[in-house]
Structure 1
Amino acid sequence: MAAGRFARYWQDFEVGEVIETAPRTIEGGDVSLFAGLSGDFNPLHVNAVDAESGAFGERIAHGLLTLAVTSGQINQTALLVGTAIGILGLDKVRFSNPVRFGDTIFTSVKVTEARASSKASRGVVAMEVKVENQRDEVVLTYDMTLLMAGKPT
């Protein structure tokens, strides 16, 4: 796959830089679709009556839905199109607050490492990912490590 117009190679990332994504509002339809796709029909997510008497007083989004949406938000920056080879790992995943229906989430990515890999044509980029809602509450954090293409020689 050819690199996209705005794509970056591993050498283009600077340690310490922060990349912000566009916001995304999570709605009930997103939760229903994710429940169907994943098979996770936990009443906390799909049953309003049960969820109302639960810990959060209402239905909330799946944590893994939030994680998946952040991946999409990062992809939509176009910085990885055609240059990201794969995710090497997701570490320190923490769901610190629920995402409620109607919440708008914002994802920021801080580059913590950008280095050559054992293959000269590739590199590794590590990032700290933080997801907040419109109330400035952190809802999710994790570390992501990507295998990236290097600049063509």
Structure 2
Amino acid sequence: MAKERETYDLPADFEFTARSQGRTITEGDFSAMTNLTWTTAEYHTNKPLMLESDMGERNLAGACVIAFALGLATPAVRPRLTGMGVRLVALAGYDEVRFTSPLRPNDTIYVETRVRDIVKTSRPNLGVINFEDSVVDHDGRTLCTYVRSAFCDVSESVLCADR
């Protein structure tokens, strides 16, 4: 049986949702990311074939969607967290990843982020912050959801005030 992890009691200030700036994924972005990741399946690389298929267009590989989302999500929450004395240190992982709709060339995406909790660690000034992220497009379609975890320094925050 897994041990229940202890979390910090978060003040109301920590219960916020942030929306990132938008980013249109151009043909150049799509091609660069596909080539960088060696994503060779025709779903991602063969435009004429996909235009004739039920899919109607190429789809960006899921790992590429996650990479774009991380680049948008972190700057959207960092200033607010820093203002509350929480400093992001390093990405810890992803859980509960679900892809629900394809990302295609020329789609504009945003990331909506909510702080789920901050888990205590054996180090008194280090926590693991868990974010619930949703990648949405310009039409409001949800493309992807996941929980993103990052190590964070809480030593300057109200979370460590009683230590």
TM-score normalised according to structure 1 size: 0.82
Q: Tell me the residue number matched to 1:133.
A: 137
Preserved CA contact (<8 Å) 2:50 2:56: yes
2:78 is aligned with 1:87: no
Question: What is the letter of the counterpart of residue 143 of structure 1?
Answer: V
The one-letter amino acid of 1:48's match is K
Q: 3-state SS of the aligned residue for 2:76? A: coil
Note if 1:150 corresponds to 2:154: yes
1:16 aligns with 2:15: yes
Greater Cα radius of gyration, structure 1 or 2? 2
Q: What amino acid sits opposite 2:28 in the alignment?
A: G
The residue number in structure 2 matching 1:65 is: 64
Which residue of the partner structure matches residue 100 of structure 2? Answer: 96
C-alpha RMSD of matched pairs (Å): 2.4
Report matched runs for 1:29-44 at 5 Å: 29-44=28-43
Indicate how the Cα distance of structure 1 residues 63 and 87 shifts in structure 2: closer, same or farther if over 3 A, else same.
same
Q: How many angstroms does 1:78 deviate by?
A: 6.5
Ranked by relative contact order (alpha carbons within 8 Å, sequence separation 6 or more), the top structure is 1
Percent identity reads 24
Runs of 4+ in 1 over 6 A off after TM superposition: none
Higher helix share: 2
Structure 2: runs of 5 or more not aligned? 1-9
Q: Which moved more, 1:90-99 or 1:28-37?
A: 28-37
C-alpha deviations, 1:86-122, integer Å up to 9, x for none?
2222111111001121111111111110243210121
Distance 1:96 1:58 in 2: 16
Q: Provide the secondary structure at the position in 2 that maps to 1:119.
A: coil
| 1:57-82 C-alpha deviation (Å, 9 max, x unpaired) | 11222222111111000233361789
Please give the TM-score of this superposition, normalised by the length of structure 2: 0.77
Aligned length: 143
Partner Cα distance (1:75, 1:13) in 2: 21
Q: Which runs of 5+ in 1 are unaligned?
A: 1-10
